[in-house]
Amino acid sequence: MNNRLKVLRAERNWSQADLADRLKVSRQTVNAIETGKYDPSLPLAFQLARLFEMRIEDIFTPE
Amino acid sequence: MTATRGTFITGIVFLGAMAGLLGGFNLHWSREPVFPLYGILIDVLAVPALIYVLLYVRRLKVAATDEFAQTKKRLAAQTGIVIGFGLFAVSGIVPMIFPDAYTSFIGTLDGAHEGFLMGRVLGMAPFVLGLIVGQVVVWTKYR
Protein backbone atom coordinates (compact mmCIF):
# COMPACT_ATOMS: atom_id res chain seq x y z
CA MET A 1 0.00 0.00 0.00
CA ASN A 2 1.41 3.39 -1.02
CA ASN A 3 0.61 6.48 1.00
CA ARG A 4 1.14 10.24 1.00
CA LEU A 5 1.63 10.49 4.73
CA LYS A 6 5.14 11.89 4.59
CA VAL A 7 4.10 14.63 2.13
CA LEU A 8 0.98 15.53 4.08
CA ARG A 9 2.95 15.66 7.30
CA ALA A 10 5.66 17.82 5.73
CA GLU A 11 3.04 20.24 4.37
CA ARG A 12 1.94 20.86 7.94
CA ASN A 13 5.50 21.01 9.32
CA TRP A 14 4.78 18.15 11.69
CA SER A 15 7.46 15.79 12.86
CA GLN A 16 6.73 12.06 13.10
CA ALA A 17 6.48 12.53 16.86
CA ASP A 18 3.91 15.36 16.41
CA LEU A 19 1.77 13.16 14.18
CA ALA A 20 2.16 10.21 16.56
CA ASP A 21 0.96 12.38 19.47
CA ARG A 22 -2.09 13.52 17.51
CA LEU A 23 -2.93 9.92 16.58
CA LYS A 24 -2.09 8.58 20.06
CA VAL A 25 0.28 5.98 18.61
CA SER A 26 4.05 5.55 18.86
CA ARG A 27 6.50 7.33 16.55
CA GLN A 28 7.61 3.89 15.35
CA THR A 29 4.07 3.27 14.08
CA VAL A 30 4.07 6.50 12.06
CA ASN A 31 7.50 5.66 10.67
CA ALA A 32 6.44 2.13 9.72
CA ILE A 33 3.32 3.42 7.93
CA GLU A 34 5.28 6.12 6.09
CA THR A 35 7.91 3.69 4.88
CA GLY A 36 5.24 1.22 3.76
CA LYS A 37 6.37 -1.50 6.16
CA TYR A 38 3.04 -1.54 7.96
CA ASP A 39 -0.53 -0.95 6.79
CA PRO A 40 -2.64 0.71 9.49
CA SER A 41 -5.88 -0.76 10.77
CA LEU A 42 -9.14 0.69 9.45
CA PRO A 43 -9.79 2.72 12.65
CA LEU A 44 -6.31 4.25 12.42
CA ALA A 45 -6.77 4.95 8.71
CA PHE A 46 -10.04 6.75 9.50
CA GLN A 47 -8.28 8.68 12.25
CA LEU A 48 -5.61 9.77 9.75
CA ALA A 49 -8.25 10.77 7.22
CA ARG A 50 -10.07 12.86 9.83
CA LEU A 51 -6.83 14.49 10.96
CA PHE A 52 -5.82 15.49 7.42
CA GLU A 53 -9.46 16.23 6.46
CA MET A 54 -9.27 13.91 3.47
CA ARG A 55 -10.73 10.65 2.34
CA ILE A 56 -8.83 7.45 3.11
CA GLU A 57 -8.32 6.77 -0.61
CA ASP A 58 -6.72 10.21 -1.00
CA ILE A 59 -4.05 9.19 1.50
CA PHE A 60 -3.64 5.50 0.73
CA THR A 61 -3.52 3.96 -2.74
CA PRO A 62 -3.12 0.27 -3.57
CA GLU A 63 0.20 -0.69 -5.15
CA MET B 1 -2.62 4.18 23.14
CA THR B 2 -4.67 5.81 25.91
CA ALA B 3 -2.53 4.84 28.92
CA THR B 4 1.15 5.57 29.50
CA ARG B 5 3.81 2.90 29.79
CA GLY B 6 4.48 4.12 33.34
CA THR B 7 0.89 3.32 34.36
CA PHE B 8 1.23 -0.15 32.91
CA ILE B 9 4.55 -0.76 34.71
CA THR B 10 3.02 0.49 37.98
CA GLY B 11 0.16 -1.96 37.43
CA ILE B 12 2.58 -4.82 36.81
CA VAL B 13 4.59 -3.99 39.95
CA PHE B 14 1.40 -3.77 42.02
CA LEU B 15 0.14 -7.09 40.62
CA GLY B 16 3.50 -8.75 41.28
CA ALA B 17 3.62 -7.43 44.85
CA MET B 18 0.06 -8.56 45.51
CA ALA B 19 0.62 -12.04 44.05
CA GLY B 20 3.96 -12.37 45.84
CA LEU B 21 2.53 -11.39 49.22
CA LEU B 22 -0.45 -13.68 48.81
CA GLY B 23 1.77 -16.56 47.70
CA GLY B 24 4.25 -15.94 50.50
CA PHE B 25 1.58 -15.79 53.20
CA ASN B 26 -0.08 -18.94 51.86
CA LEU B 27 3.25 -20.76 51.90
CA HIS B 28 3.74 -19.64 55.50
CA TRP B 29 0.23 -20.66 56.56
CA SER B 30 0.50 -24.03 54.81
CA ARG B 31 3.55 -24.84 56.99
CA GLU B 32 1.56 -24.32 60.18
CA PRO B 33 0.02 -27.44 61.76
CA VAL B 34 -3.46 -26.31 60.71
CA PHE B 35 -4.15 -23.84 57.90
CA PRO B 36 -5.51 -20.82 59.83
CA LEU B 37 -9.12 -19.71 59.38
CA TYR B 38 -8.10 -16.09 58.87
CA GLY B 39 -5.83 -17.30 56.05
CA ILE B 40 -8.79 -18.91 54.30
CA LEU B 41 -10.83 -15.73 54.80
CA ILE B 42 -8.01 -13.56 53.40
CA ASP B 43 -7.66 -15.92 50.42
CA VAL B 44 -11.39 -15.83 49.72
CA LEU B 45 -11.25 -12.02 49.64
CA ALA B 46 -7.84 -11.59 48.00
CA VAL B 47 -8.09 -14.09 45.14
CA PRO B 48 -11.03 -12.33 43.40
CA ALA B 49 -9.23 -9.01 43.96
CA LEU B 50 -6.08 -10.50 42.42
CA ILE B 51 -8.06 -11.72 39.39
CA TYR B 52 -9.65 -8.27 39.04
CA VAL B 53 -6.22 -6.56 39.19
CA LEU B 54 -4.87 -9.08 36.64
CA LEU B 55 -7.69 -8.27 34.21
CA TYR B 56 -7.23 -4.54 34.84
CA VAL B 57 -3.49 -4.76 34.13
CA ARG B 58 -4.29 -6.62 30.90
CA ARG B 59 -6.55 -3.71 29.91
CA LEU B 60 -3.75 -1.28 30.82
CA LYS B 61 -1.35 -3.28 28.65
CA VAL B 62 -3.66 -3.01 25.64
CA ALA B 63 -4.17 0.71 26.31
CA ALA B 64 -0.43 1.36 26.70
CA THR B 65 0.63 -0.35 23.46
CA ASP B 66 -0.39 0.70 19.99
CA GLU B 67 -1.53 -1.53 17.16
CA PHE B 68 1.89 -1.70 15.47
CA ALA B 69 3.53 -2.98 18.67
CA GLN B 70 0.74 -5.54 19.04
CA THR B 71 1.17 -6.65 15.43
CA LYS B 72 4.90 -7.15 15.99
CA LYS B 73 4.33 -9.14 19.18
CA ARG B 74 1.65 -11.28 17.53
CA LEU B 75 3.91 -12.06 14.58
CA ALA B 76 6.81 -12.91 16.92
CA ALA B 77 4.62 -15.24 19.00
CA GLN B 78 3.03 -16.96 16.00
CA THR B 79 6.38 -17.46 14.27
CA GLY B 80 7.95 -18.62 17.51
CA ILE B 81 5.30 -21.28 18.16
CA VAL B 82 5.39 -22.60 14.59
CA ILE B 83 9.21 -22.72 14.51
CA GLY B 84 9.20 -24.25 18.01
CA PHE B 85 6.88 -27.08 16.96
CA GLY B 86 8.93 -27.58 13.80
CA LEU B 87 12.18 -27.90 15.74
CA PHE B 88 10.46 -30.12 18.32
CA ALA B 89 9.31 -32.45 15.53
CA VAL B 90 12.78 -32.48 13.97
CA SER B 91 14.37 -33.32 17.34
CA GLY B 92 11.98 -36.30 17.58
CA ILE B 93 13.21 -37.67 14.26
CA VAL B 94 16.89 -37.56 15.29
CA PRO B 95 16.83 -40.96 17.16
CA MET B 96 15.32 -42.60 14.06
CA ILE B 97 17.94 -41.23 11.68
CA PHE B 98 20.95 -41.56 14.01
CA PRO B 99 20.07 -44.54 16.28
CA ASP B 100 23.70 -45.29 17.21
CA ALA B 101 24.47 -41.69 18.22
CA TYR B 102 21.21 -41.59 20.17
CA THR B 103 21.98 -44.85 22.00
CA SER B 104 25.49 -43.72 22.92
CA PHE B 105 24.10 -40.37 24.11
CA ILE B 106 21.57 -42.13 26.34
CA GLY B 107 24.45 -44.26 27.64
CA THR B 108 26.34 -41.17 28.79
CA LEU B 109 23.44 -40.10 31.04
CA ASP B 110 23.87 -40.87 34.69
CA GLY B 111 20.60 -42.54 35.60
CA ALA B 112 16.90 -41.79 35.27
CA HIS B 113 17.05 -38.44 37.07
CA GLU B 114 19.60 -37.01 34.64
CA GLY B 115 17.54 -38.43 31.77
CA PHE B 116 14.48 -36.67 33.16
CA LEU B 117 16.36 -33.35 33.44
CA MET B 118 17.81 -33.75 29.94
CA GLY B 119 14.32 -34.50 28.59
CA ARG B 120 12.96 -31.34 30.18
CA VAL B 121 15.74 -29.20 28.76
CA LEU B 122 15.59 -30.75 25.27
CA GLY B 123 11.79 -30.52 25.25
CA MET B 124 11.91 -26.82 26.08
CA ALA B 125 14.90 -25.84 23.92
CA PRO B 126 13.09 -25.91 20.53
CA PHE B 127 10.43 -23.52 21.82
CA VAL B 128 12.98 -21.16 23.37
CA LEU B 129 14.86 -21.19 20.05
CA GLY B 130 11.55 -20.64 18.26
CA LEU B 131 10.82 -17.55 20.36
CA ILE B 132 14.26 -16.15 19.56
CA VAL B 133 13.72 -16.84 15.85
CA GLY B 134 10.31 -15.11 16.13
CA GLN B 135 11.94 -11.97 17.53
CA VAL B 136 14.58 -12.03 14.79
CA VAL B 137 11.89 -12.42 12.09
CA VAL B 138 10.03 -9.39 13.46
CA TRP B 139 13.21 -7.39 13.71
CA THR B 140 14.20 -8.14 10.11
CA LYS B 141 10.70 -7.45 8.79
CA TYR B 142 10.05 -4.15 10.55
CA ARG B 143 13.51 -2.67 11.20
Low pLDDT (below 50) residues in chain B? none
Res A19: pLDDT: 94
| Contact check, Cβ <8 Å, A26/B69 | yes
Residue A53 C-alpha, separation from nearest chain B C-alpha, in angstroms: 22
| Contact check, Cβ <8 Å, A38/B68 | yes
Of B7, B1, B41, which Cα lies nearest the Cα of B22?
A: B41
| Contact check, Cβ <8 Å, A24/B69 | no
Res B2: pLDDT: 67
Average pLDDT over residues A1-27: 92
For A26, the closest of B2, B66, B141 (CB atoms) is B66
Nearest CA in chain A to B4: A24
Instruction: Indicate yes or no: pTM above 0.80.
Output: no
H or E segment to which residue A22 belongs: helix A16-23
For residue range A26-53, list pLDDT tens digits in order.
Answer: 899 999 999 999 999 999 999 999 999 9
Q: Which domains does chain A have, with CATH numbers?
A: 2-53 (1.10.260.40)
Domain assignments of chain B as residue spans, ordered by start: 1-64, 67-142
Angle subtended by helix axes A16-23 and A27-34, to nearest 10: 110
Report ipTM for this prediction: 0.82
